[in-house]
Amino acid sequence: MDRSNEAGLSKASPLCLSLCTVFYCCLTLSCIAIVIFLGIRNPVTGPTTSLQVGDILSNSSALIKANYSVSSATFFMFPEGTVFVTATEPPKITDHLPPKHLSISSIRYDLNYLGLVTPIYLLPGSILHYNVSITSNERLDSSYSACLYLFTSLTRFQNFLSFVENDNSSNMISYCFTSPVTPRQPTLASHSFDIVEASKYYVGVELVSGVNVIMMANASVVRVYYDTRGLSPHCNMVQLCHIDICDELLCSHSS
């Protein structure tokens, strides 16, 4: 079951940028934050920031950039997490997760790769790919046979499954299969969602109503994450981590 917590922020000196993040993981996953400090500008005090990072897979990470040479950050993480600090953006690793068969048992259903109502956390450059087989016992009058929907909000995903409509439904990322379906003959189709924002993702499917439509799906994932193997942890498996990054002429480093 998912676990999350609220984040708090300790006040930094006027010369430091303050960041705060809470990391969210499912089950026993360890979260990884990569904090990058670049550039030289007049530092300011920033707002508290909350993030939800992670899924039941490993190596989930968030990248936080602070464009100041004098910066301070306090991280409150639950469960425990690891924080790295680096001056350059680390390389990324791409994993190809194997195809997984998913069954559809109602007009609106869950098509999450990791299981029922279980999100997958993805970074930009990742891909969610679906191969589907659609069969109908009769000719379809609709312009589509099934639609896929991509969500970043658990509430909106649950509303979708419960047939609860909302004012933003037209803004959902979706794709409808419009290929003609010959009665009693499987129609093969595919679609990929290209991920452009780091987030947890949920996928749902809606079959055309009023006729007997059977759909089978295989899902696969191209998963991008940061390579931290060359980095030394600033804080390792802790709930509280404080970082000071300072210009030598202005202040000294403390941890």
Percent of the chain with pLDDT over 90: 38
- What pLDDT is stored for residue 12 in this prediction? 35
Distance CA(242)–CA(22), nearest Å, equals 13
Whether 90 and 228 have beta carbons less than 8 Å apart is answered as yes
Nearest to 147 by CA among 182, 114, 96, 107: 107
Provide the pLDDT confidence category of residue 242 given band limits of 50, 70 and 90.
confident
Over the range 199-227, which residues count as b (16 or more CB within 10 Å of their CB) and which as e? bbbbbbbbbbeebebebebebbbbbbbbe
Which is more confident, 49 or 130?
130
How much is the pTM?
Answer: 0.78
Distance CA(237)–CA(25), nearest Å, equals 13
> Within the chain, what is the greatest distance between any pair of CA atoms?
77
DSSP character string of 122-166: E-TT-EEEEEEEEEESS---SS-SEEEEEES-HHHHHHHHTT---
Q: Is residue 28 pLDDT above 80, yes or no?
A: no
Domain boundaries, the chain: 2-91+227-245, 93-225
Nearest to 107 by CA among 217, 216, 205: 205
Contacts of residue 176, defined as CB under 8 A and 6 or more positions apart, other chains included, come to 143, 144, 146, 147, 148
Distance CA(19)–CA(242), nearest Å, equals 10
Amino acid occupying residue 74: T
Q: Are strands 17-19 and 71-86 parallel, antiparallel or unpaired?
A: parallel
Q: Is residue 253 pLDDT above 60, yes or no?
A: no
Q: Are strands 31-37 and 61-66 parallel, antiparallel or unpaired?
A: parallel
Fold of 93-225: Jelly Rolls (2.60.120)
Nearest to 102 by CA among 56, 135, 133: 133
- What pLDDT is stored for residue 212 in this prediction? 85
Q: Is residue 129 pLDDT above 70, yes or no?
A: yes
Q: Is residue 19 pLDDT above 60, yes or no?
A: no
Q: Is residue 170 pLDDT above 90, yes or no?
A: no
- What pLDDT is stored for residue 254 in this prediction? 39
Provide the pLDDT confidence category of residue 230 given band limits of 50, 70 and 90.
confident
pLDDT tens track for 54-82: 888 877 888 887 666 556 778 888 778 88
Nearest to 168 by CA among 159, 177, 176: 159
Contacts of residue 55, defined as CB under 8 A and 6 or more positions apart, other chains included, come to 25, 26, 29, 114, 118, 119, 120, 121, 200
**Average pLDDT of the residues of the chain:** 78
Distance CA(217)–CA(128), nearest Å, equals 12
Distance CA(201)–CA(162), nearest Å, equals 18
Calculate mean pLDDT across residues 146-157. 94
Q: Is residue 42 pLDDT above 50, yes or no?
A: no
Tell me the two tokens of residue 130: 């679906």
